[in-house]
Amino acid sequence: CETNNSGDYCFQNLTNKKLKVFVSHVGECIVEPAQTQCFYNVKAASYSYEIEILENKVTYRPVYEKAYAKGNILIEKCKSKTFIIK
């Protein structure tokens, strides 16, 4: 982490909904209820994020229903942080 100027950032889902987390220039992941997903060795910087509720409709295709939250996160060098979603 010192050499790469990187850190880790996790998202913990304390809701009862399946969520999609998108972090700009980093990636996206699905976070099930009571689960934690992490992005590792991410370049230290500020990134925007968006969290959406993932609902399964009658067609059985996942549909991103609505934005649950969005904003900015700061990934710091050699640190690991967890964003708790309530």
User: pLDDT digits over 28-66, tens only?
Assistant: 999 999 999 999 999 999 999 999 888 765 555 555 556
| Whole-structure pTM value | 0.85
- In this prediction, residue 57 carries a pLDDT of 57
pLDDT band at 24 (very low <50, low <70, confident <90, very high): very high
pLDDT band at 73 (very low <50, low <70, confident <90, very high): very high
How far is the CA of 79 from the CAs of 5, 12, 41, in angstroms?
A: 10, 17, 10
Span 5-23, mean pLDDT?
95
- In this prediction, residue 12 carries a pLDDT of 97
